[in-house]
Structure 1
Amino acid sequence: MPVSPAMAEDLAAAITRLYEDAELSIIERMRRALEEGIDSPLWAEIKLRSIGDLREAVEEIAEALQQDANGAVARALATAYGRGRQAAAAELGALDIGRELQARRVLPNAPAVDRLAASYAADTRPLYQRITRAVTDTYRSVVSRVASGPLLGTVTRRQASQRALDQFAQRGVSGFTDRSGRNWELAAYAEMAVRSVTARAAIEGHIDALAEIDVGLVIVSDAPLECPLCRPWEGEILTLGQQSGPHTIRAEHAIQPSGLFAPTRTLAVHVAGSLVEARAAGLFHPNCRHSLSAYLPGVTTRPPHHATPGTTYEDTQRQREIERTIRAWKRRQAAAMDDVQRRRAGAYVRKWQKVAREHVAAHDALRRKPAREQIGAAR
């Protein structure tokens, strides 16, 4: 069977929930910290003096999150790598090389899994370092703004606190900037990182298994609603070797005639480039819909093109935007300081859920994924 990033989606989803639960806990901690003693005339002084308590609570959440997530990722990587190997054995099962691969009992490749786990830990380490600072800076700013607002007679302290909490919950726990300069919220970055590394583990398990039986070519599927990064590689043959760029090779036919004097059959195969090159250009990015299969000269045929009339890649991105909006309003529900604000946020959740239903109904190629509209333990 082909291997694809989707093969490890369930593993990534379970780990992403850890981050979303942590984000909800942080929002609720901040809400309780701001709400406590809000009617006291000394509220601002009390809040600023108690910032150390909030910092300690957030540090505990961040440390527990880091420990739980790193352990869960290590287990998920081993599972994803094993699935990739199993996929290679399954797709070649009818051939002698497939039976040879199935007969092997190979444990997940420790160096590959350890390397990916270390890569994930390095990529997410700045996230934990920034969580506490982002939260305490936001909290201090909220207290300062709220303390000055009511003095001017413009708004009540509770209303000002709620407004600031709403802004915080709307964008999520943010403050982390990646190498490209993009600013990320906690859960969104974690989801991207986890999906990316588990997908890589599944693909590496697959190509390592193929390399063991000297299968050096793979072919990319034709996926519906492909993104511009993946489109150039659809249906193309790639080498697992180092030679990049388009080139033509002479390869042995995968099924050779039997007999002592039977001639070896070869044929010309056009190769679009290397797998390393394609991945560097964006193939198999997080949420990529493409899959990878072994290419057996003379046996494997190019995949048919999947037409999606009436639906575009941009429509899929609009669906992701709607899902993010639903999650943002659910965070605001968690940040609500009274029933009125909670009901208001709930009304917006329902409004955007209706938008999601209408958008999916208008595009036959789209499917609604309720799990992507959930946050934390609610998923």
Structure 2
Amino acid sequence: MPVSPALAEDLARAVASLYEAAEATLLDRLRAALAEGIDSPAWVNSKLAALGDLQAGVTQVIAALEADAAGAIHQAVAEAYDRGQQAAVAELGALGVGQVAAAVEALPAAAAVDRLAAAVVEETGAAHLRILRQTLDVYREVISTASAAPLLGAQTRRQAAQSALDRFATRGVTGFVDTAGRSWNLVSYTEMATRTAVGRAAIEAHTDRLGAAGVDLVIVSAAPEECDRCKPWEGKILTRDGAGGARTVEMEHATEDGRMVQVRVAGSLPEARAAGLMHPNCRHDVSAYLPGLTRPPAQVPARGTYKQSQQQRYFEQKIREWKRRETVALDDAARTAARARVRAYQGRVRELVAETGLPRKSHREQLTQAR
């Protein structure tokens, strides 16, 4: 069967859920610590005295996260690699070209899995210190802002505390920048990094298996709602590896000995991926190309535009944001207001999918609950 980053994206989500659950736990602990005695005249002093307790609690959450995350990342990458290998075997078996036996032979996977998993662990490891620092910074900010607000007459202490908590719930733990210079929060960055790794593992395993069977070319599928980075590669024939660059090559027909056919190669798979194909949210796949046999991929009817699919993702992000805001609500009024915003954005998602035919992905609207 063809392979794409989507083949293993559920594995990336499982890893991101660990971080999302940790973030939810921190938000809940932060809210509870600040809410206790907030109307008391001694609130500022009691909160400053309790800073050590909060730090110990946050450190405990981070230790649990560190214990779980490294193993979960390695397991996800290993499972993605296995799925990629199985996809290649199934694909060649379905083609019935006599090459499946070679593909079934076990290929060493440990080195590739370790390499990809170690890169993600290193990327996300720096997040743990940032979690502690930013949580404590928000705690101090709330105390400072909330204690000064009544003197300024601008807000009540509760309102000031709620505003600071809302800002933290909205942005999450921040400060993560990818190689393209884009900024991410903790959960999104973790999911992006893991999704990139598991997608790469599945594709590498698939193409390695094809190579073991003597298949040197792959073809890119068509996909709905494609982005500008991927569209130039749709339907193109690529070498599995090697040098890039478009060229015409002469190859023997896949099933007719001695018959030569000309194949227009658009470049290499590494070249296409460097240009943006197979990015973490890509819906394209690659499959074996057999000279003289493989036909160009059929066009897939679009269910909307790429812009509309990104609008849906924005609404999903806002739903999760307002659910986090509900988590840190200090009173029923703030909680009710957050729920109303959740329902409003859910309504916008329903309208969009009804208008375009885009599938609704309810799991992307959910938060992993605190552990």
Q: TM-score, normalised by structure 2?
A: 0.95
Give the one of 354, 361, 367 matched to 1:361.
354
**2-side partners of 1:294 and 1:5: how far apart?**
16
**1:108 Cα offset (Å):** 6.0
Q: Which residue of 2 aligns with 1:261?
A: none
Identical aligned residues as a percent: 52
Please state if 1:303 is matched with 2:297: yes
Q: Which residue of 1 aligns with 2:268?
A: 274
Give the one of 96, 99, 112 matched to 1:97.
99
Please state if 1:203 is matched with 2:195: no
Alpha-carbon RMSD: 1.6
Q: Secondary structure at the match of 1:288?
A: coil
Structure 2 segments unaligned to the other structure (5+ residues): none
Q: Secondary structure at the match of 2:356?
A: coil
Q: Secondary structure at the match of 1:8?
A: helix
**1-side partners of 2:111 and 2:301: how far apart?**
41
AA partner of residue 343 (structure 1): T
Please state if 1:317 is matched with 2:298: no
**1:13 Cα offset (Å):** 2.0
Confirm or deny: 8 A CA contact 2:215 2:288 kept in the other structure: yes
**2-side partners of 1:129 and 1:312: how far apart?**
40
* Cα offsets for 1:83-109 (capped at 9, x unmatched): 11111111111221024323x3x2660
Q: Which residue of 2 aligns with 1:86?
A: 86
**1:284 Cα offset (Å):** 0.7
* Cα offsets for 1:150-182 (capped at 9, x unmatched): 122332211211121111112222233334432
Q: Which residue of 2 aligns with 1:39?
A: 39
Q: Which residue of 1 aligns with 2:242?
A: 242
**2-side partners of 1:66 and 1:178: how far apart?**
21
Q: Report 1:216-231 matches (<5 A).
A: 216-231=216-231
**2-side partners of 1:212 and 1:179: how far apart?**
32
Confirm or deny: 8 A CA contact 1:84 1:204 kept in the other structure: yes
**1-side partners of 2:241 and 2:30: how far apart?**
52
**1:23 Cα offset (Å):** 0.9
Q: Report 1:122-201 matches (<5 A).
A: 122-201=122-201
**1-side partners of 2:58 and 2:277: how far apart?**
37
Is the deviation greater in 42-51 or in 217-226?
Answer: 42-51
Q: Secondary structure at the match of 1:377?
A: coil
Q: Secondary structure at the match of 2:229?
A: coil
Please state if 1:334 is matched with 2:335: no
Q: Which residue of 1 aligns with 2:120?
A: 120
**1:229 Cα offset (Å):** 0.9
Give the one of 368, 371, 379 matched to 2:363.
371
Confirm or deny: 8 A CA contact 2:221 2:286 kept in the other structure: yes
Confirm or deny: 8 A CA contact 1:81 1:108 kept in the other structure: no
Confirm or deny: 8 A CA contact 1:222 1:235 kept in the other structure: yes
AA partner of residue 348 (structure 2): V
AA partner of residue 289 (structure 1): R
**2-side partners of 1:92 and 1:86: how far apart?**
10
**2-side partners of 1:204 and 1:322: how far apart?**
33
Q: Which residue of 2 aligns with 1:57?
A: 57
Q: 1:57 to 1:179 in 2, by over 3 A?
A: farther
**1-side partners of 2:83 and 2:293: how far apart?**
24
Q: Secondary structure at the match of 2:40?
A: coil
Confirm or deny: 8 A CA contact 1:28 1:335 kept in the other structure: yes
Confirm or deny: 8 A CA contact 2:219 2:236 kept in the other structure: yes
* Cα offsets for 1:116-163 (capped at 9, x unmatched): 011111221222221111111122112111110012233221121112
Q: Secondary structure at the match of 2:211?
A: helix
**2-side partners of 1:226 and 1:122: how far apart?**
31
Confirm or deny: 8 A CA contact 1:84 1:201 kept in the other structure: yes
Give the one of 339, 342, 346 matched to 1:346.
339
Confirm or deny: 8 A CA contact 1:82 1:108 kept in the other structure: no
**1:242 Cα offset (Å):** 1.3
Structure 1 segments unaligned to the other structure (5+ residues): 258-263
Confirm or deny: 8 A CA contact 2:73 2:121 kept in the other structure: no
Q: Secondary structure at the match of 2:99?
A: helix
* Cα offsets for 1:18-50 (capped at 9, x unmatched): 111111101111101111221222222222232
Q: Secondary structure at the match of 2:121?
A: helix
Confirm or deny: 8 A CA contact 2:319 2:365 kept in the other structure: yes
**2-side partners of 1:82 and 1:67: how far apart?**
24
Confirm or deny: 8 A CA contact 1:120 1:194 kept in the other structure: yes
Give the one of 260, 281, 289 matched to 2:283.
289
**1:226 Cα offset (Å):** 0.4
AA partner of residue 57 (structure 1): G
**1-side partners of 2:179 and 2:137: how far apart?**
23
Q: Report 1:19-38 matches (<5 A).
A: 19-38=19-38
